[in-house]
Amino acid sequence: MNRPLVRKTVSAVLLCAFLTVNTFAADIKEVLKNAKASYYTLQAQGFKGFKCTVAPNWEKFMKDINAPNDGKLALLQPVRFSVSIDEQGQSTITPFTTTGAKVDPSIDQMINGFKDMLANYRIVGKDGASDVVINLTKDYVITEMNVTAEGTDIKMFPKFAKTDKGLLMTDIDSDINHGQQRVAFGIKYQEVQGISLPGQTWIKVTLPAQVVAVEMTFSNYEVTKR
């Protein structure tokens, strides 16, 4: 059993899981203000919106999804997307063809799938020697996080519960090195003085020859509020 890798994986999962809890100990508005000032933003450059044409590489797309050679590639080749985004980040995506003809109904499903991909967000960056990719929906809900470092590939798939105060993470399913190891983490919350804090958590690490499961209960909270 690769204990260092297990510890590293569990630490990464727990870090993500308790990220929400940790923010209560910081001045969130100040953190967001400083973070925003550190990055290049379109609004700071006078941005109010844009419109552009997106030309997908349909040949690569069809190859990547192992699509059969049934003539649909020829129908997709002239398809483009007109994309417009306003100052609030709201997007409008409209497919059209370079020939002026209507989009063939037989490829509507592929067009809609690609359109959904354009409507979502992807954040790509580096954290030290690690490559990080985060996928979000158009409502800013994280659906997948990929971390690649030191020959280790970790994919995390979080789930959230929607509350009137924001999204609370309830689960993370993680895949390490393409199925060699799996980690499942869950969290159930309790209300403490109007704040959602962990009540129960559980983690299950599945290794090639061993399964390790741990459950934890949190109690006796002493919360300090402003």
Domain layout of the chain by residue ranges? 3-27+121-217, 48-119
Q: pLDDT tens across 172-200, in order?
A: 999 999 889 999 999 999 888 888 888 88
Q: pLDDT tens across 68-83, in order?
A: 888 888 989 999 988 8
Q: Is the pLDDT of residue 66 over 50?
A: yes
What's the pLDDT band for 32 if we cut at 50, 70, 90? Answer: very low
Rg from Cα positions in the chain: 22
How many angstroms separate the CA atoms of 62 and 125, rounded? 27
64-72: long-range contacts at Cβ-Cβ below 8 A with a sequence spacing of 24 or more? 72/106, 72/107, 72/110
pLDDT at 173 (0 to 100): 94
